[in-house]
Amino acid sequence: MKKHDNEISRDPMAADDAEDTVAKLISLAGPRAEIAADLQSRVHDKVRLEWLRATRRKQLKRWAVPLAVAASVLLAVAINLPSPTVSLPKVGTVTYVAGDDASNGTGFSVGDAVLMNDVIETGNSAGLSLALVDDISLRIDSHTAIRIDSADEITVLRGQIYADSGERIYRDRHITVHTAGGSATDVGTQFSVAYESGQLNVSVREGRVDIASDQQTFTAEAGDSLTIQPGNEIVREKVTPYDASWEWASALAPGFVGQNESLLDFLKWAARETGKELIFANDELRMAAMGTTVYGAVRDFRPMDAIATVLPTTAFKYRVDERSITILN
């Protein structure tokens, strides 16, 4: 290359003019960040070489010369442009944070976006709920750490989560929860996954969950609570949908949006979140509840508090016990 450069720069007058012109053009680009000396030298020589080549090609039109130099100047300016930022996709939104503080130490507040690869940790008295895409509600218990791998894959590093994928039993997409002790994939369900000290527990409130652990597979149906201990010893127990072990998840339920929704919709929401059976004393009461509209915001109330707040404002009487919510005459 050196031999080639010497042959082109045989005309010292042309070389000086080119160098002055290039310097003026580069100065028009304005102030820019420092460039390494060797890189600056190479860019400068490249621009100068391009100018000399252009001036010696008599067959080119006159306007081609400044065009080539301008392209070289743009190259020099582009070196200083910042690298494009890469944004991770949004996979959900925070819908509820337990406690009086806005984020309660979690670093998240209601309305915050949750991105892929986010790691969420809760303290001893904290907890929060997420609305993931595809209408999946995810609740994160206190003293829990999870990683959001994607919109439908979660890794529990420690602690406990609860997922509600809705009442649709058959869906195109499912949510899979990974732990170091195995993974659990839902089939239209409400379920919890807890992992601590090598022990995995999967409890199913509704629907079915498929579990994979160390090349073994298991199926947990509604009412099953499977604990897989180190060494793959399995303990299978029964749990009711209204068992006290679900109360933490019900307490983190996203509030009911009661704008122009029927009282029947509200009662179904409360029954689903508490695991209680919704009973109407007769069909006329059910139809009346369907035709009654719930006004006002009840999104800040937990399910049992919402029942105690909303129903006394209506003409309906009710009774709540361990297993059911009963609407009476």
Give residue 304's Cα distance to chain centre.
28
Q: Where are the beta strands (DSSP E) in the chain?
A: 90-97, 113-115, 119-121, 128-132, 136-140, 145-150, 153-164, 176-179, 182-196, 199-213, 216-221, 224-229, 233-238, 261-262, 277-280, 293-294, 317-320, 324-328
Res. 244: pLDDT tops 80: yes
Side-chain half-sphere CA neighbours of 303 within 13 A:
24
pLDDT at residue 261, as a whole number: 86
Give the separation between CA 312 and CA 247, rounded to whole angstroms.
23
Side-chain half-sphere CA neighbours of 125 within 13 A:
4
Lowest mean pLDDT among 34-48, 146-160, 189-203: 34-48
Mean of all residue pLDDT scores within the chain? 79
DSSP string, 281-324: SSHHHHHHHHTPEE-S-BTTS-HHHHHHHHGGGSS-EEEE-SSE
Q: Which of 14-18, 33-37, 125-129, 228-232 has the highest mean pLDDT?
A: 125-129
The interaxial angle of helices 12-27 and 37-56, nearest 10 deg, is 120
Residues 301, 285 contacting (CB under 8 angstroms): no
**How confident is the model over 205-231, as a mean pLDDT?**
91
Give the separation between CA 131 and CA 111, rounded to whole angstroms.
10
Q: Three-state SS for 127?
A: coil
Share of the chain above pLDDT 70, in %: 68
Cα–Cα distances (Å) from 26 to 19, 20, 30, 56, 152, in that order, read 11, 10, 8, 22, 51
Cα–Cα distances (Å) from 204 to 161, 165, 166, 327, in that order, read 12, 12, 13, 27
Classify residue 86 as exposed, middle or buried by CB count within 10 Å of its CB (0-12, 13-18, 19+).
exposed
Res. 148: pLDDT tops 70: yes
- How confident is residue 57, by pLDDT bands cut at 50, 70 and 90? very low
Residues 47, 54 contacting (CB under 8 angstroms): no
Task: Give the other-Cβ count within 10 Å of 325's Cβ.
Answer: 22
The one-character DSSP state at 142 is S
**How confident is the model over 228-241, as a mean pLDDT?**
89
Res. 229: pLDDT tops 90: no
Classify residue 31 as exposed, middle or buried by CB count within 10 Å of its CB (0-12, 13-18, 19+).
exposed
Taking Cα atoms as reference points, which of 162, 196, 167, 197 lies closest to residue 177? 162
Prediction pTM value: 0.71
Backbone angles phi, psi at 50, to 5 degrees: -65, -40
Domains in the chain: ranges and CATH: 2-78 (no CATH), 90-247 (2.60.120.1440), 255-328 (3.55.50.30)
